[in-house]
Copies of this chain bind each other. A is one copy, B any other.
Amino acid sequence: HLPVTVIAGPCQLESRAHALETAQALKEIAARVGFGLVYKTSFDKANRTSASAARGLGLEAALPIFAEIRESLGIPVLTDVHSADQCAPVAEAVDILQIPAFLCRQTDLLLAAAATGRAINVKKGQFLAPWDMVNVVAKLNGADNDRVLLTDRGTSFGYNTLVSDFRGLPIMAKTGAPVIFDATHSVQQPGGQGTSSGGQREFVPVLARAAVAVGVAGLFIETHQDPDNAPSDGPNMVPLAQFEALLRDLVALDRLSKAQAAAAA
């Protein structure tokens, strides 16, 4: 029972300076609070609600920044890939390739990601049951990659709403893959603002607390120094100024939760 790992960072890679600054701030918080940190940021938001929404810096500009964060700060980096041909070049610059939820059944993308040998974090599709993810793990394992992580980011529940079914965490853990709970996208309201997605930031701590009490290998929480002016996912990112207090509570809960699990085992 390892302590919780936290995948954190701003939704989008906005600039080199912004990335380095945020990564540095998170590294300091991780050291003070005592959790493993993976820096997450996206070089391309490939499925925005609207075509006119900001998509990010793009792959070419992003890769050197990812490399710099890893080297200068010594933090592992995670980013998401959207097509098979992105997997190899991105794998050069990051530690974990992430498969977006909408794409979690795209066989070519999974196989290309698997072939890089990198760890792969697959988000459970909003349209899938937790037990369906065993097939996704099998696709990756079948391609000789067993460094698979599974992330829950909510399940479709009526229109423009997701629900987090916490029974899904132990169900997905039966695959043997470490299970992550994404508290940021689980409170998204897809399409909920007409031409963009809404979110309910106030429920990030609620769902993250539930997840660590149930037992997870990691948490995924996006953060930004000024979410209301962030180019994407603003409504569901946690302000950076509140991140440390939130994580302090979550890490304490996680420690108790894992001690109880260890005692019961």
Contact = CB atoms under 8 A, between A and B. Distances in A.
A211 B166 CA distance: 10
Q: Which of A111, A206, A213 has the most CB of B within 10 A?
A: A213
A207 B51 contact: no
Contact of A105 (B47, B131, B163, B212): B47
A107 interface: yes
Q: How many copies are assembled?
A: 4
A139 B257 contact: no
Bin chain A's interface residue count.
35 or more
A147 interface: no
A246 B50 CA distance: 38
B160 A163 contact: no
A64 interface: no
Interface stretch (A5-13, A15-23, A120-128, A230-238): A120-128
Interface of A: 46-52, 55, 82-84, 102-103, 105-108, 110-111, 125-129, 131-132, 135, 138-139, 142-143, 155-161, 163-167, 169-170, 187, 190-191, 195, 200, 203, 206-207, 209-214, 245, 249, 252-253, 256-257, 260, 264
